[in-house]
Structure 1
Amino acid sequence: MSEQAKPRSCPALFLTAPASHQGKTTLTAGLARHHRNLGRTVRVFKTGPDFLDPYILERASGNPVYSLDLWMTGEADCRHRLYDAAADADLILIEGSMGLFDGTPSSADLAATFSVPVLPVIDANGMAQTFAAVAYGLSNFRPGLPFHGVVANRVASARHAEMLSEMLPPSLRCVGTVMRDDAMTLPERHLGLVQAQEIVDLEQRIETAAARVAVTGLAELPPLVVFTPAVGTPVPRLLTGTKIAVARDQAFSFIYPANLELLAALGADIAFFSPLANEPLPSADAVYLPGGYPELHLGTLAANSVTKATLHAHVAAGKSLYAECGGMLYLLDSLTGNAGTTGAMLGLLPGNATLQSRLAGLGLQSVELDGATLRGHAFHYSSLQTPLAPHTHARRASGTAQGEAVYRHGSMLASYLHCYFPSNPCAAARLFKP
């Protein structure tokens, strides 16, 4: 084995929970910031598809946060990113998705694959001795899963902390009890946490969480984990000479960092522009409109005529435009938000969409385009009405229900699906060719 291919060791911990809304992101961010404040290099990863938590974890750790998913990103991609992180990190943290055993594959599957010790965060609000039953169930449901202990979150008092831990068996330790503190709670909206760039006191909230973590057993470095290298495949320079304009602002921010890095590795030149700021489209061969929150900026987007005119000119010239979820909604004739307010959008894709109070689409999916398959996911609350017939449909990773519709209209390709470009670099390159 060559020097470069030797295994690497790094302290690592997998923060999970019995369900969503237990405070995983807050404590992961606090833990990352605590160790960063001590001068350590912290690399954080997020399990599964997620655009919101990673930005908060990036602010906390000071390093980019990548997604790990055995299906969407693939085991080799996960292995490569963890191995790469172990080269210079003093601590690797992985935040799970939903509950420990939820999903196929689950957080437990990922933790077991890479032997990263699991630490469930359990919201103890309204709970006493039953805390021990939940903790015991999580630790024993899957024999052989590396288990570091449990954390009691949102604890009311010292007496409450005693009640939570007194029934735990000797073999299961409570690593820490974190007191309830609204000053570190992260605000939420319909798609999850509020975006990092919108939380004006985010730094203060992260530092408060770090201070809470510092006085618990969480502050101790976890055990060393050995990470082995993955065999990499060179990325072909299929986009050399191609300039891609990418929308990026508070309305269009759902972009995997790995997607942008893959486009650069393919040889593309990337230029960013802001529809919210009414910026003209940069001179480009292709456009990428990612997802985000256009429904929160209806009036501004409707009034921004410069961006609209230059995007119309781009499409009229027959140049490629690829849009995902919120980016697709921006292409429509109109979009109606959850307050019933309707805003005129670009009018490039016939139809309109309406935001609903209930989830309209969720899950890991793949799409085959021109014989090549890209993997990704969908997560949206809006419904689309369009006279266009779908070009194709995505396929769900599990179950038999039909996946998201994919529309091809002139030089545009649009869908609710968020694709993970490194899942198939050659297929990703084709998205940006006419």
Structure 2
Amino acid sequence: MASASCPALVIAAPGSGQGKTTATAALARLHARGGRRVRVFKCGPDHLDPHWHELASGAPVHTLDLWLTGERDCRERLHAAARQADLILVEGVMGLFDGENSVAELARRLGLPVLVVIDASAMGGTLGALTHGLRSYWSDLPWAGVLANRVAGERHADLLRAGLRDPGDWLGALPALGGFEAGRPTALLPERHLGLVAAHELPDALARLDAAADALATTPLGRMAPADWERWRVSFDAPPAGGAAPAPLLAGRTVAVARDAAFCLVYPANLELLEQLGARVACFSPLRGEALPDCDALWLPGGYPELHAPALAAHTGLQAQLRAHVAAGRPVWAEGGGMLALLESLILADGTRQPMWGLLPGQGTMHRRLQALGPRVLRLPGMDEALRGHSFHYSSVDSSAHAPRQALRPGTEGAAEAPGAEAVYRHGSICASYFQPWFASAPRALARLLGSH
């Protein structure tokens, strides 16, 4: 298979909260409106930003991460995208140089030019110093330029641009985008615990993206013609031949997957892997009271059961079906919010106690502060490979269920103490944890969680 090439950018920032997602989605929407085929990727374990990018681009959004998904997977996905797309955009995570497997390292290994988005709302000429530092910190970092965000007006933009050592770095300025509700300023892409509100939850989501695209269209970056993007064309080599296809470890088995606003934190690649392993995937909506499909195993992904607790608890018919599934010894894998839904009760942020499904002993408690964040690994007995994933939650769980295993921070296996370890509860045929895995990191371990031995 020959190499493929396509204009491509990494959209990065000095840190979180600078406006990477808005800029990426605006750029994707602007070009998709113009009839270009845009593919967007997201760095790091993020389930929410991709909802916006998928709406903006009209194409599925996959994860790129040197640790979580692996460099080979990153290269394969970019090569496949370059064969079909007119433009590839990769939104970074956290700050450009944050972490051992940083966005900068991804950009350097794959030859992706970096566009830096900087919140310039409280700075002037310092934008130039910050841009110079980010550009020159690694001499071999592919570079595109800087987009100033939350800029007050033309005079402010002129001050920012004047501070740049290289005038060619300037790709424009975006104003603070949003509106007002009840006299208060609101964000164009609103947030809550765990991250952005998913695009499908807002009826005017596309209008919000169009507003961001319209603002970007007035900048030098937004006015660039397709021919101008050739300066950022990247060649992606074809993956080496002979890569083994996943063994059909779930052949003949049906895996039911909860999919709705209460269970929305799903990597598309995880669904793909289930099918590659031979499983028939049957999605259903607990929130709408849909019946549990006839299945051999059930996966309850993460999400927001706390926002829909009364509706979930009201569907007693589904609860009865879930109890019958467990009584028959059929496996359940529940992660994050999926685990919360299985508990006896959940104490919400306002202190009220809400009954849940009652299949897993114990209760959960919602907190206003983050309880855990970061990469985790889960090794099952007798398995050479460990599942890689992450933990990110604002709740805690108090359960009497047996927890024979833990998902650990990388590098803490075998340590006398393992801070940040996440319990993996086992109760009958239920296996539940805050740990949210990338299935392809250990397909055999995943198949065991779903009942294949």
Alignment TM class, shorter chain as reference: over 0.9
Classify the secondary structure of the residue corresponding to 1:57.
helix
- CA distance, structure 2, for counterparts of residue 8 and residue 305 of structure 1: 52
Cα drift, residue 190 of structure 1: 1.0
Alpha-carbon offset, residue 74 of structure 1: 0.6
For the 8 Å contact 2:300–2:338, the answer to whether it is kept is yes
User: Structure 1 counterpart of 2:157, which letter?
Assistant: A
Match of 1:396? 409
Which of residues 92, 103, 109 in structure 2 aligns to 1:107?
Answer: 103
For 1:398 and 1:430, locate their aligned partners in 2 and report how far apart those are by CA, in whole Å: 24
- Residues 25-104 of structure 1 mapped to structure 2, 5 A cutoff: 25-104=21-100
Does residue 163 in structure 1 map to residue 159 in structure 2?
yes
In 1, Cα distance between equivalents of 2:92 and 2:75: 16
Matched ranges for 1:297-312 at <5 A: 297-312=308-323
Give 2:233's aligned residue: 224
Q: Distance in 2 between matches of 1:336 and 1:371?
A: 37
Which 10-residue stretch deviates more, 101-110 or 67-76?
101-110
Name the structure 2 match of 1:192: 195
- 1:71-123 deviation line (CA, Å, top 9, x unaligned): 01011111111111111110000000011111231111111110100011001
CA distance in 2: counterparts of 1:198 and 1:131, whole angstroms: 35
Do residues 366 (structure 1) and 377 (structure 2) align? yes
Structure 1 residue aligned with 2:300: 289
User: C-alpha deviations, 1:135-162, integer Å up to 9, x for none?
Assistant: 1221122221111111101111000000
Q: TM-score, normalised by structure 2?
A: 0.92
Letter in 2 for 1:412: I
Return the offset for 1:227: 0.8
Of stretches 58-67 and 299-308 in structure 1, the one that deviates more from structure 2 is 299-308
Decide whether the 8 Å contact of 1:334 with 1:351 is kept in 2: yes
| 1:145-199 superposed Cα distances (whole Å, 9 cap, x missing partner) | 1111111011110000001111110266111111222157100001110011111
1:279, 1:306 within 8 Å by CA — same for their partners in 2?
Answer: no
Q: 1:199 to 1:426 in 2, by over 3 A?
A: same
Residue 405 of structure 1 is aligned with which of 423, 426, 435? Answer: 423
Q: How does 1:187-336 map to 2 (within 5 A)?
A: 187-219=190-222, 220=224, 221=229, 223-231=232-240, 232-336=243-347
CA distance in 2, matches of 1:172, 1:343: 57
1:414-434: per-residue Cα shift (whole Å, max 9, x none)? 110111111122222222116
Is residue 420 of structure 1 aligned with residue 423 of structure 2?
A: no
1:279·1:307 contact (CA, 8 Å) conserved in 2?
Answer: yes
Deviation at 1:395, TM superposition (A): 2.0
Aligned length in residues = 430
> SS of the residue aligned with 2:298?
strand
How far apart are the structure 1 equivalents of 2:119 and 2:139? 24
Letter of the structure 2 residue corresponding to residue 107 of structure 1:
V
Moved more, 400-409 or 26-35: 400-409
Paired residue for 1:9? 5
What is the deviation of 1:45? 0.2
Letter aligned with residue 326 of structure 1 = G
Q: How does 1:112-191 map to 2 (within 5 A)?
A: 112-170=108-166, 173-182=169-178, 185-191=188-194
Check whether the contact 1:29–1:206 (CA below 8 A) recurs between aligned residues: yes
Does structure 2 conserve the Cα–Cα contact (< 8 Å) formed by 1:364 and 1:397?
yes
Q: Give the C-alpha shift of residue 274 in structure 1.
A: 1.1
Measured in 2, the distance between the counterparts of 1:307 and 1:125 equals 50
Name the amino acid aligned to 2:150.
Answer: R
Task: Please tell me the residue identity of whatever aligns with 2:201.
Answer: E
Report if aligned partners of 1:52, 1:192 keep a CA contact under 8 Å in 2: yes
In structure 2, how many angstroms separate the alpha carbons of the residues matched to 1:300 and 1:86?
43
Matched residue, 1:382: 395
Q: Which stretches in structure 2 are left out of the alignment for 5+ residues? A: 180-186, 413-417
Given the alignment of the two structures, is residue 337 of structure 1 paired with residue 356 of structure 2, yes or no?
A: no
Q: Deviations over 1:189-225 (max 9, x none)?
A: 0111001111121100111111111222223325111
Cα deviations by residue, 1:315-341 (Å, 9 ceiling, x for unpaired): 011001100010011111111121112
Tell me the C-alpha RMSD between the 2 structures: 1.4
Q: Secondary structure in 2 aligned to 1:362?
A: strand
Residues 298-331 of structure 1 show CA distances to partners (whole Å, capped at 9, x for unaligned) of 2111211111111111001100110001001111
Q: Distance in 2 between matches of 1:260 and 1:395?
A: 24
- Alignment deviations for residues 249-268 of structure 1 (CA, whole Å, 9 cap, x no partner): 10001110000000011111
Partner in structure 1 of residue 182 of structure 2:
none
Deviation at 1:402, TM superposition (A): 4.2
1:371 deviates by 2.8
Would the aligned equivalents of 1:393 and 1:402 in 2 still touch at CA under 8 Å?
A: no
Distance 1:193 1:116 in 2: 26
Whether the 8 Å contact between 1:136 and 1:172 is mirrored in structure 2 is no
CA distance in 2, matches of 1:68, 1:217: 28
TM-score by length of 1: 0.96
> 1:282 & 1:345 partners in 2: Cα distance?
20
